[in-house]
């Protein structure tokens, strides 16, 4: 069941190609107990364009803060700096 969900979420993120969609993929992995896949999605997100979702409650700035905080706490300095470099 989780594999089908992952396949659909990953396809959606790849189709959109933006930070926020990979953030949501990482959130999915985190909440299904797949921490390494969540880290992988966050690292990939750190190199994607940042745009707000139209009409959504959470802004890209909130997502960037969450990702930066988590990557920093995990000691992933390269990805942390990549997010900071894209965060406007």
pLDDT per residue as tens digits for the range 16-34: 999 889 989 999 998 899 9
Whether residue 88 has pLDDT greater than 70? no
Whether residue 69 has pLDDT greater than 70? yes
CA 26, CA 43: separation in Å to the nearest integer? 9
Could you give the C-alpha distances from 61 to 7, 66, 74, in angstroms and in order? Answer: 26, 9, 20
pTM above 0.85, yes or no: no
Supply the DSSP symbol for 57: S
CA 47, CA 71: separation in Å to the nearest integer? 13
Look at residue 60 in the predicted model and tell me its pLDDT. Answer: 80
Reported in sequence order, the residue ranges of 1-87 that DSSP labels E, i.e. its strands, are: none
CA 9, CA 2: separation in Å to the nearest integer? 10
């Amino acid at each position: 069941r989780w594999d089908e969900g992952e396949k659909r979420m990953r396809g959606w993120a790849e189709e959109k190609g933006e930070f926020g969609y990979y953030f949501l993929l990482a959130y999915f992995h985190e909440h299904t107990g797949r921490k390494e896949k969540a880290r992988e999605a966050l690292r990939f997100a750190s190199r994607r364009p940042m745009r707000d979702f139209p009409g959504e409650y959470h802004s890209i700035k909130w997502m960037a803060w969450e990702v930066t905080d988590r990557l920093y706490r995990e000691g992933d300095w390269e990805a942390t700096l990549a997010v900071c470099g894209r965060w406007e």
